[in-house]
Amino acid sequence: MSLTSAHSVVAPSANSKRIAGAIIIAYALISIVPLLWIFATSFKTPPDSIAYPPKIVFQPSIEGYCNLFTTRTRQTPEYINSLGPATGICDETARERNMVIAGPSNFLPRFVNSLIIAFGSTFCAVFLGTLSAYGFSRFKVPLADDLLFFILSTRMMPPIAVAIPIYLMYRELGLSDTALGMILLYTAVNVSLAVWLLKGFIDEIPREYEEAAMIDGYTRLQAFWRTVLPQATTGIAATAIFCLIFAWNEYAFASLLTSGTAQTAPPFIPTIIGEGGQDWPAVAAGTTIFLVPILVFTILLRKQLLRGITFGAVRK
Amino acid sequence: MLNRTADSVARATPEPLARKVRGISDKGLAWLFISPTILLLLAINIFPLFWAIYLSFTNYRANRSNEVVKNLGFANYQRILGDQDVWIAMQTTAHFVFWTILLQTVIGFTLAWLIDRKFRGHAFWTTIILVPMMLSPAVVGNFWRFLYQPQTGLFNYIVAFFTGVPPSSFEMLGSVQLAPWAIVIVDTWMWTPYVMLICLAGLRSIPEYIYEAAEVDRASNWRQFWSITLPMALPFIMLAVLFRGIENFKMFDMVNLLTGGGPGSTTEVASITLKRQAFESWRTGYSSAFAIILFVAVFGLANIYVKALNKVKQR
């Protein structure tokens, strides 16, 4: 589906267009306000973030980002005065609050976990998905429809339901709380989407290309490699981004199956605690950093979005 | 590598060419391509499912793995179906699914219908509207918890600003009456764009000549909407409802972060009950039985619904 296609079912009058536009713009603004608010909060100081009435104009501060990446301990003013000059801007903001930086926080390792698990599982899911999709698209597979439905139905299980046996299985195999375990799990969840989406894309590539290649003396595999893959690149890229977004956003499995070394960012961000409760600027800073890739992908993907969210069930 | 003789033979016999290739037969290749996926799904989905079925007949507890496992037969299932709390959780889930789908469908369809008018800049604003559904439900749940803070949250401030009710008098997440609606609001905020996108595809699929014919027949705008727009877009709306229904039946992340099932158990949807039984009370056998029941319910309802959807499509 294209959001910018020239075809429209109604021939609206200029006036109705204007009213429609006004309503849509109003809705868009309302729906984006929570995100803008989080972005603004990430640049507030903790007192500003919980001020009432909410502060729209405020002195920007990078304290939230400093608190996100470091741990701090409270010290007496005498001790702080006895220290040398502050090293770096984060140290300065910490000292203003009678604190010194004790070390790095867990955010960066959790963020790196998210990257490793999301990219690792995406690569595996797209790799397996491309092979299967080609298999289903081009060969007569016995029970193809049943197999495809089976692949789709694995997505219907509530994650918590599968989490219990997977938790036990991983405990036996030593995969609990490991990146490898999470990559395998997300690959299994994503491969259903990858197969369905890619089958749609590959179905659209005319078989004649491969037949021509095979007549020229290529084997089936060579024909796949030299003609189908290059043609499917856009589809593969779109599929990869959808898998990436899912793995990046996933929370249920991550919160139940990881607790320490392999924990990803979504279960970690809500646990950021400051002095006397949740450190909202730090949480907002973590959220902002976490959301940036998604925003970029949304803009890149807007034309493929419909396919991706409906498993290719709805095309243009 | 290339076998010229086989090649010339193949060239002489055009049709079965695709079947007979050097090295691996097509059939073998098909399995080579498909089996890794199937094997992975068997290992990570089907094997655990069967394990869960086995556990559902036992009194196994994952935190006491040394205890002797007893076979209970259908006792777990009986207990679940007779458990008041489980039925309440199912009801809560049904309420959420009903209200979120109703709101998302009505708002989503209206938005799609308006966007279809192609006002200036519609592509840009549509993209903005699509952003919430791309976010992580966990992160969304967490920052809405911030917006819902009773004393200082933006949501309470805005509501207070427009209604004059003092913001400290209503606690969206702490009140028994408001907490379920707090979750419905967040879910609607997040997923209305999803329904809107699918409805938009539905509206764009209606061929223009039908409207032209209706114009010739002097059908009123209202009539055109009820007789053309809505019925033609219906399969798409139903598809959106199916996808949202399955997802919201499984709803866990957002609820877990917004309220954790509270206050009391007013927002305890099935997934939260399941998590409490499985990972807090460690009643592994019992929760496995519950998981199986949930899975069968989603699967069964989805299948019935798809049959209805196909009937609508065929009309």
Could you tell me the pLDDT band of residue A191, with boundaries at 50, 70 and 90? very high
Closest chain A residue by Cα to residue B188? A31
Chain A from 291 to 310: CB within 8 A of any B CB: 291, 294-295, 297-299, 302, 305-306, 309-310
Percentage of residues in chain A having pLDDT higher than 70: 96
pLDDT value, residue B35: 93
For testing the chain A interface, which of B41, B225, B228, B272 should be mutated: the one with the most A CBs within 10 Å? B41
- Which residues 114-133 of chain B have a CB within 8 Å of chain A? 114-123, 125-133
| Cβ atoms A158, B291 nearer than 8 A | yes
**What is the pTM (predicted TM-score) of this model?**
0.88
Contacts of A128 in chain B (CB under 8 A): 36-37, 40
Query: What confidence category does residue A7 fall into, taking pLDDT thresholds of 50, 70 and 90?
Result: very low
Contact A165 B30 (CB under 8 A): no
Q: How far is A154 from chain B (nearest CA, A)?
A: 7
Q: Look at B17 and A41 and tell me if their CB atoms are within 8 Å.
A: no
**pLDDT value at residue A247:** 94
Q: Looking at residues A211-227, what average pLDDT do you find?
A: 88
- Check whether A6 has a pLDDT greater than 50: no
Å between B105 CA and nearest CA of chain A: 15
- Report yes or no: B33 at the A interface, CB cutoff 8 Å: yes
pLDDT digits (tens, 9 = 90+) for A102-122: 889 999 999 999 999 999 999
Closest CA to A193 of A226, A249, A154: A154
Q: What per-residue confidence (pLDDT) applies to A159? A: 84
If one compares B151 and A293, the residue with the highest pLDDT of the two is A293
Asked if A269 and B142 come within 8 Å (Cβ–Cβ), the reply is yes
pLDDT band for position A91 (50/70/90)? confident
pLDDT of residue B1: 31
Residue B177 to chain A, least CA–CA distance (Å): 23
Band of residue A142 on the pLDDT scale cut at 50, 70, 90: confident
Residue A11 — pLDDT band, cuts 50, 70, 90?
A: low
Residues of chain B where predicted confidence (pLDDT) is lower than 70? 1-24
User: Measured between CB atoms, which of A51, A161, A220 is closest to B291?
Assistant: A161
Q: Using an 8 Å CB-CB cutoff, list chain B residues near A170.
A: none
Of B44, B129, B157, Cβ closest to residue A31? B129
CA distances from B118 to A8, B111, B212 (A): 7, 12, 18
Among A10-19, A96-105, A165-174, B138-147, which is the least confidently predicted range? Answer: A10-19
Q: Is A157 in contact with A188 (CB distance < 8 Å)?
A: no
- Give the mean pLDDT of A288-297: 90
Q: What is the per-residue pLDDT for A2?
A: 42
How far separated are the first and last CA of chain B, in Å rounded? 55
The ipTM is 0.87
Cα-based distances in Å from B175 to B91, B167, B266? 19, 13, 9
B148, B259 Cβ separation under 8 angstroms: no
pLDDT of B14-50, one tens digit each? Answer: 444 444 445 567 788 888 999 999 999 999 988 998 9
Tens of pLDDT, residues A48-85: 888 878 888 889 999 999 999 998 888 888 888 888 88
Q: What confidence tens digit (pLDDT) does each residue in A226-246 have?
A: 889 999 999 999 999 999 999
Closest CA to A270 of B57, B246, B6, B258: B258
Q: Which of B111, B192, B253 sits opposite A251 (nearest CB)?
A: B253
Inter-chain residue contact B131 with A16, CB threshold 8 Å: no
